[in-house]
Amino acid sequence: MSIYIYTKDQLKKIENAALITANILDELESKIVEGISTFEIDQHARKFIKAHKVKSAFLNYGGFPATVCTSVNDEVIHGIPRKDCILKAGDIVGMDFGVIVDGFFGDSARTVSVGLIDASVQKLLDVTKESLYKAIASVTIDNRVSDISHAVESYVTKFGFKPVREFSGHGIGLNLHEEPSIPNYGKAGRGPRISEGMVFAIEPMINAGTSDIDVLDDNWTVVTADSRYSAHFEHTVAVIDGKAKILTRGINFN
Ligand code: MG
Ligand code: MG
């Protein structure tokens, strides 16, 4: 399998899907308050999907039972919304969401705080988010895919945080997950050359403690092996005019 190169017209369609994905995430973020359950977050997401007249990229994907992954505290990714998972002050919740519009996919994630959180947890969120922007800054046609990976790892390790190694970012467009795989760690200057028209979902998953993870008995929820917190941020990014455009924000970046 090779990496898709999208035409200007296709890139417009991916951007449209990415913008709607981000708009719905904005709407979901505004609903996060103490006392809401992750089940209710999914209910809101279903309502917004309907209102925007789009389709969920996640519902039934590999059997996933919801439209949004909700991963709380030590949950890294792929948390399943539950009625008995009620957010309280001091929690963090990662929301990973995507839609299909006109045959094209958008994918984005962010980790948000509930009420007041510990300063050390805020640091984890800030560093993980910044590592995503460091990664996006490395998306130019002068670079290779592993430069993206290296940008994430070299930044977060300065703060004592660790990238998860078992899950990666990915190409996206006509499919939710395409080539190339974009790990959040690795040496610079390896892998495929970044080229005009490629589209990447870049998604650092960063742990406060060990990089090791476990998967819960539901066969979805990924948790940190040491129960320390984990953060996740993701944008859909295209290579346009040799540089990165954050499709989930509609802005040229570097
Ligand atoms: Mg995602
Ligand atoms: Mg993704």
Task: Give average pLDDT by consecutive 10-residue segment, the chain, 254 residues.
Answer: 94 98 98 98 98 98 97 98 98 98 98 98 98 98 97 98 98 98 98 97 98 98 98 98 96 88
253: number of Cβ within 10 Å: 15
Q: From the CA of 116, how far away is ligand 2's center (Å)?
A: 28
Res 1: pLDDT = 67
- 139 within some domain: yes
Q: Is residue 251 part of a domain?
A: no
| Closest to 212 measured CA to CA, from 197, 230, 239 | 230
- Picking from 234, 242, 232, 235, the residue whose alpha carbon sits closest to that of residue 139 is 242
Q: How far is the CA of 172 from the centre of ligand 1 (A)?
A: 10
253 found inside a domain? no
- Cα distance between residue 76 and residue 221, in whole Å: 8
Q: How many domains does the chain have?
A: 1
| 92 occurs within a structural domain | yes
Residue at 90 is within a domain:
yes
Residue 1 in any domain: the answer is no
Ligand closest in space to the Cα of 98: 1
Taking the C-alpha atoms of residue 59 and residue 49, their distance in angstroms, rounded to an integer, is 11
C-alpha of residue 97 to centroid of ligand 1, in Å:
6
CB distance 94 to 132 below 8 Å: no
Ligand whose nearest atom lies closest to the CA of 69: 1
Range of the domain at 64: 8-246
Letter string b/e over residues 6-26, b meaning 16 or more CB atoms within 10 A of that residue's CB: beeebbebbbbbbbbbbebbe
pLDDT score, position 213: 98
Q: What is the CATH number of the domain that holds 37?
A: 3.90.230.10
Compute, in angstroms, the gap from residue 168 CA to the centroid of ligand 2.
8
178 CA to middle of ligand 1, Å? Answer: 13
For the entire predicted model, the pTM comes to 0.98
In a domain, 105, yes or no: yes
Ligand 1 center from residue 78 Cα (angstroms) = 9
Q: Is 159 part of any domain?
A: yes
